[in-house]
Amino acid sequence: MTQSPKGASIHIDGCSKFYGSFTALDNVSLQVQPGEFISFLGPSGSGKTTTLNLIAGFTDLSQGEIRMGDRPISNVPSHKRNIGVVFQHYALFPHMTVAKNVAYPLRQRGVARAECEKRVKEALAKVHLEAFAHRYPSELSGGQQQRVALARAMVFNPGVLLMDEPLGALDKKLREVLQLEIRRIHREMGSTFVYVTHDQEEALVLSDRIAIFNKGRIEQVGTGHELYQNPATLFVGQFIGESSVLRGSHEAAGDHTALMVSGQRVLAAGRPQGSGAQVILLRPEDVTIQAPGTGTREDRSNLLQGVVREAIYLGSAMKYEVALPDGTALLARSAPGERVFAIGEAAEIAFAPHSARLLTDDGSQG
């Protein structure tokens, strides 16, 4: 994690936002470290933008408190919060040149002309737009306009930079280029970055930590690795990365839990989580596909019989979807050089109990 005296910490304590009887944000708490890059990831309507707007001061809190550093900010107007903002469609001022757009926050803060010019130049250099200072926004591509918006948001060295889907309107290639630029700018600036996205890959590329939003709550906060390897909920496990979910009645089996899945017994390491229905979450790379009857149960490995429903060539691997007799789909990956299976072929699926993640069924369907 990048630590810098420039970045401000953000403390969100028990925050809720109600619109009439509708709860958009439900008692959310989150601590963001100084200089950290945190992403808010979650489906549409889960409360990401609402939280960002509360930090920015564009929306009033219904309940709770937000502090930047030690300072409660609820009564501090937006423009005095020392926060830079970039939105997906953050309109640049169309009648101003690029240089004037970027200079705007400095002029608002009464920065002297010579200093202003110097800082605008530096900010434009950071986003590789020095040569475009005298153009108007209408003379720029979408990607260039977002670079200007970024330069304008960072030119006054804010303690916190908030970005709401800033690359959402751009094509994939350009998005990837700008993601790397945003990472570099974050490292150079040392400010705290809060980034809203519904693109999990983007969140993984950019962030020190990711907060997973669902229905107005944060389900889990962690590094990409933590969320992928140890999801706290089925929703998180399915939202990050690819997975298969096995459902069935369960019973304790010593220090393991056994599930009856499609008439076959499956073991997962560990005891049931709580008293509700249990599911097993599997990552495709933990699942082996092999010819029927190949496996042994020596290491208590789980063996399930099914039929290949999809076989997809990915270049670096083959991806398979294998259907169990009751229709449950299981994803498996095999490395190049391994036996290739055809659609419709019978196949055996093998995985170890310790790679079967046992979670409470929260009804989420990936």
How far apart are CB 33 and ligand ATP at their closest, in Å?
23
Closer to ligand ATP by CB, 45 or 263: give it.
45
How far apart are CB 197 and ligand ATP at their closest, in Å?
8
How far apart are CB 239 and ligand ATP at their closest, in Å?
13
Return all residues near 258 (Cβ < 8 A) that are at least 6 apart: 250, 251, 252, 265, 266, 267, 268
Contact between 50 and 15 (Cβ < 8 Å): no
How far apart are CB 20 and ligand ATP at their closest, in Å?
7
Closer to ligand ATP by CB, 44 or 75: give it.
44
**Alpha carbon distance 231, 221 (integer Å):** 10
Identity of residue 5: P
Closer to ligand ATP by CB, 46 or 257: give it.
46
Q: How far is residue 256 from each of residues 120, 189, 246, 259, measured CA to CA in Å?
A: 62, 49, 16, 10
Closer to ligand ATP by CB, 45 or 325: give it.
45
How far apart are CB 83 and ligand ATP at their closest, in Å?
17
The strands making up 278-282's β-sheet, listed across from edge to edge, are 244-247, 278-282, 357-360
Identity of residue 13: D
CA angle, corner 152, sides to 79 and 6, nearest 5? 70
Q: How many CA atoms lie within 13 A of 270 on its CB side?
A: 16
Closer to ligand ATP by CB, 66 or 155: give it.
66
Structure tokens at 152: 């304008």
Contact between 179 and 159 (Cβ < 8 Å): no
Work out the number of other CB atoms within 10 angstroms of the CB of residue 39. Answer: 26
Residue for token pair 């020596």: 298
Closer to ligand ATP by CB, 198 or 319: give it.
198
Positions touching ligand ATP (CB under 6 A) are: 19, 22, 24, 42, 44-50, 198, 213
How far apart are CB 127 and ligand ATP at their closest, in Å?
25
- Furthest-apart CA pair in the chain: how many Å? 78
How far apart are CB 25 and ligand ATP at their closest, in Å?
7
Closer to ligand ATP by CB, 60 or 70: give it.
60
